[in-house]
Amino acid sequence: MKGEKTKQRVLEAASDLFWSRSFHSVSVADVAAAASVNKATLYQYFDSKEALGRAVVIDARRRTIDFVFEGAWAQADEPLDRLKAIYERVYGSQQAAYDCSGEARGCPFVNIAMEMAIENKSVRDEVRQTQEAFGAYYARILRALAPGPLPRDAEERAVAALVRNMNGAMVAARIEQRPEALLEAAETAVFIAQSAVASAAAPTSPAP
Amino acid sequence: MKGEKTKQRVLEAASDLFWSRSFHSVSVADVAAAASVNKATLYQYFDSKEALGRAVVIDARRRTIDFVFEGAWAQADEPLDRLKAIYERVYGSQQAAYDCSGEARGCPFVNIAMEMAIENKSVRDEVRQTQEAFGAYYARILRALAPGPLPRDAEERAVAALVRNMNGAMVAARIEQRPEALLEAAETAVFIAQSAVASAAAPTSPAP
Amino acid sequence: MKGEKTKQRVLEAASDLFWSRSFHSVSVADVAAAASVNKATLYQYFDSKEALGRAVVIDARRRTIDFVFEGAWAQADEPLDRLKAIYERVYGSQQAAYDCSGEARGCPFVNIAMEMAIENKSVRDEVRQTQEAFGAYYARILRALAPGPLPRDAEERAVAALVRNMNGAMVAARIEQRPEALLEAAETAVFIAQSAVASAAAPTSPAP
Amino acid sequence: MKGEKTKQRVLEAASDLFWSRSFHSVSVADVAAAASVNKATLYQYFDSKEALGRAVVIDARRRTIDFVFEGAWAQADEPLDRLKAIYERVYGSQQAAYDCSGEARGCPFVNIAMEMAIENKSVRDEVRQTQEAFGAYYARILRALAPGPLPRDAEERAVAALVRNMNGAMVAARIEQRPEALLEAAETAVFIAQSAVASAAAPTSPAP
DNA sequence: GATGAATGAGGCTTCATTCAT
DNA sequence: CATGAATGAAGCCTCATTCAT
């Protein structure tokens, strides 16, 4: 019981630090200090730094799905409103981090994946699954938006485009230190979704 | 004279390693070994690992502009063909890396920027400038594509969307280990460009 | 509890090595080896080599005051006997080092201060304070020796002369590798003290 | 001919740096840079850093004898005036360094000897000989001051006391960053000299 | 459940020195 | 006479990790 709380503290500290800086430039000592925990204690909950990294990804995925996607669903009913809500919610957390620490941090998943994609397949796969989980929500939006059923590959292509669009926005936010990039990308997202549905209805024009 | 060659060897080795793995998981010793150079020699050409990172970004920018953008211009004349050529050329180098090392590496600029955006402003700024340089090429495409002059902010928004689109594709390539993500994103890029121009012609609907 | 002992071992090893050789020609690895401690362990107790240097000075000050000055006070009652006892005790430790290692090492404070005075103000200041602490003992001797109260500046000048005398003797011991320099300087010290008091009594002739 | 000038430049740069900082905290690269000379060139004139250190001592000795001691002889005729002139001249160069670089540097010989006494016998011996050379001048003063011939050992003791006195003053100047320590020590020097001669005249009381 | 103490390996950087030109 | 280029060794310090308590 008590241990669970400690573990959570470590997880939060690690999430925060890995997100802000990077996996490799944060030391286990940094995490332990931020969590007010002894390093040895940390190792009782996580087998290695790598395992901690993986756990962070998994935990962030859960929280992101809850807050961003489920939140968007709860907040709006129309598919495009939900899409916009997703971006607004992401924008909100970028802005919150920016206000609190002066940093637009971008995407925790993209960040760690760009860093570890080659050296650590397990983290990369965890991020890949995360993105697929997000994609499932985009697919639901597309289906709700379409008058009839979308062709399988048209949907897949549109989902992939939406995932890429979010990631591109997150990259921009971090490089330019501008949370607003999320809001700007929201328009592109709406556009991608609309066009995918439209071009499925009239399959003569190319899908995005 | 001889030193210039050594410096170049170091730069190439560092580019390759930082791109494939990451800045922090490659040691100066790794770079020196890959360049067949003594560590101390490396430090005669670069003041610090950070300076090497910056130099790598600057060098990669030059090469990317030459090979990808100027190459696309030389290769095709029509704006949309040039846009497609950009993505094809990027796809080509992703695929080349993939064939040679089994890795889809994504974008050297995005990779290093995601890793160092917060801890190292100078590298982040170098990447930001790089993306702006790329943006200038996208702007030229948009202008060539438009029947009349685009409103300033419409162009800016479309350029930003194109930059995000490329970055999103690069992220996908690295996370999914699939160079083809570039080809798929090319379609979205064409779409973004066309719509920007179209909506500028008929300013009633919003640009993406 | 256990750590305190380790820290002390490091401190003793560092004291010994810095005293014998010099701050810059002793490496952290040397100290760690001499203390049978891992380098990383050493850094758990001292933030940096410089901090270790400072700690060594502070520790040596404490030990010197205990052994030399308080020891002299305990050993003798008459002011001049105490002054002589100071030099004898210092001579004793020079001779002890000489017997044990074949080196007349001079003054740990002077040695490190000569080396680091310019580059490291904090060490220099620590040494300066050390010398002032020693000066306080000399002042007590002078006051006990004088029939009446000494003028403030006469006392100060005599104290400074006594400090310089000790330092000069320590320098001689190290340069000439002769602990006996301390015994010879003891006579000069007595002489300086006597004259200071005498000239204060008959203020016509200048104090040394 | 041209080479001699280069060598001299190196010697001066090294003298300056070793004096200000310390032998071990100045690198060969520092010296070469300060002398505007390539490192390899430096090694054409000096076999090793140690040899450079030795050469610096020897060169500084020559210059000190010229400027301080011979200068004092040329400047004054009376023995005590010469003694005072020695201290004034030394004070002058301390003050000059202080004005120019903000550092009271103390004695180049004491500084390097304290640092290298144990690890490098050859430098230590060079300094020892330097001090003996200085002692010869003090002996001349004592002899000129005495009405009759001084006993051999009385002279030796007084000379040693004078050498120690100068060194103690130099230590004070560097530790306290106060060139004036030299002027204060001059009084003690005069006092030591006078007493040595006096006690030799009336051999009942002990010499300092 | 938690921690203070310890460590081998490795991080980045600089050292004194050499050699071909 | 002078130098640009190169290097093995060593500098200080931090890393992720373990273990006894």
Q: What is the DSSP string of A118-145?
A: TT-HHHHHHHHHHHHHHHHHHHHHHHHH
DSSP D204: T
What's residue C77's pLDDT? 95
Q: What is the pLDDT of residue B207?
A: 47
Q: Tens of pLDDT along B133-177?
A: 999 999 999 999 988 888 999 999 999 999 999 999 999 999 999
**Tell me: the pLDDT tens digits for A67-95?**
999 999 999 999 999 999 999 999 999 99
In this predicted structure, which of B36-50, C88-102, C142-156, D54-68 has the lowest mean pLDDT? C142-156
Chain C residue with the nearest C-alpha to that of D111 = C114
Mean pLDDT of chain C: 94
Q: Could you tell me which chain B residue has the CA closest to the CA of A194?
A: B208
Min distance A131 CA to chain B CA atoms (Å): 9
A152 in contact with nucleic chain E (CB within 7 A):
no
- The per-residue pLDDT for range D144-183, each reduced to its tens digit, is 998 888 899 999 999 999 999 999 999 999 999 999 999 9
Q: Does chain B touch chain C (at least 3 C-beta pairs within 8 Å)?
A: no
Give the pLDDT of residue A123: 96
Residue nearest to nucleotide E3 (CA to C1'): A38
Render pLDDT for D99-153 as a digit per residue (tens, 0 to 9). Answer: 999 999 999 999 999 999 999 999 999 999 999 999 999 999 999 998 888 899 9
Nearest CA in chain D to C106: D114
Name the DSSP class of D54. H
The contacts of residue D63 (CB under 8 Å, 6+ apart) are none
pLDDT for residue C203:
53
Q: Which pLDDT does position D207 carry in this prediction?
A: 47
Query: What would the mean pLDDT of C24-42 be, rounded to a whole number?
Result: 96
Residues recorded for chain B? 208
Q: What is the pLDDT of residue D167?
A: 98
pLDDT, tens digit, 9 for 90 and up, residues C42-97:
999 999 999 999 999 999 999 999 999 999 999 999 999 999 999 999 999 999 99
User: Can you tell me the mean pLDDT for B28-41?
Assistant: 96
Residue indicated by tokens 């997000």: A134
Q: Which nucleotide is nearest to C41 (CA to C1')?
A: E6
Q: Does chain A reach chain C with at least 3 CB pairs under 8 Å?
A: no
Query: Which band of pLDDT confidence, cut at 50, 70 and 90, is reported for residue C202?
Result: low
Percentage above 90 pLDDT, chain D: 89
Task: Please check whether residue B141 is in contact with residue B60, taking contact to mean a CB–CB distance below 8 angstroms.
Answer: no
pTM over 0.75: yes
D171 chain-C contacts, CB cut-off 8 A: 110, 113-114, 164, 167-168, 171
Q: Measure CB to CB from residue A115 to each of B115, B157, B176 and give the nearest one.
A: B115
- Between CA B109 and C1' F12 the distance (Å) reads 32
CA-nearest residue to D103 within chain C is C118
Tell me the average pLDDT across C146-157: 91
Spatial distance between the Cα atoms of B77 and A62, rounded to a whole number of angstroms = 48
Contact of C162 with C138, CB cutoff 8 Å: yes
The CA–C1' separation of C27 and F12, in angstroms, is 9
C87-138, pLDDT tens digit by residue?
A: 999 999 999 999 999 999 999 999 999 999 999 999 999 999 999 999 999 9
Option in A119, A175, A184 nearest B157 (CB) = A184
The gap between D39 CA and F13 C1' (Å) is 28
- Please list, in sequence order, all residues whose beta carbon lies within 8 angstroms of the beta carbon of residue B146, skipping any fewer than 6 positions away: B197, B200, B201
At residue C193's C-alpha, the angle toward residues C192 and C196, to 5°, is 85
Cα–Cα distances in angstroms (integers) from residue D112 to residues C42, C111, D124, D125, in the given order: 29, 10, 8, 11
Verify if strand E has an atom below 7 Å from the CB of A35. no
Question: Mean pLDDT throughout B115-135?
Answer: 96
Alpha carbons B105 and C50: distance in angstroms, whole number: 43
Strand F: list protein residues with Cβ under 7 Å: A 26-30, 39-40, 43, 48-50; B 1-6, 37-41, 44; C 26-30, 39-40, 43, 47-50; D 2-3, 6, 37-41, 44
pLDDT per residue as tens digits for the range A182-207: 999 999 999 999 999 987 666 554 54
pLDDT of residue C207: 47
Q: What percent of chain C has pLDDT over 70?
A: 96
Question: 3-class SS at D27?
Answer: coil
Nearest to D159 by CA among D191, D129, D136: D136
Nucleotide nearest to B41 (CA to C1'): F6
Neighbours of C201 (CB within 10 A): 11
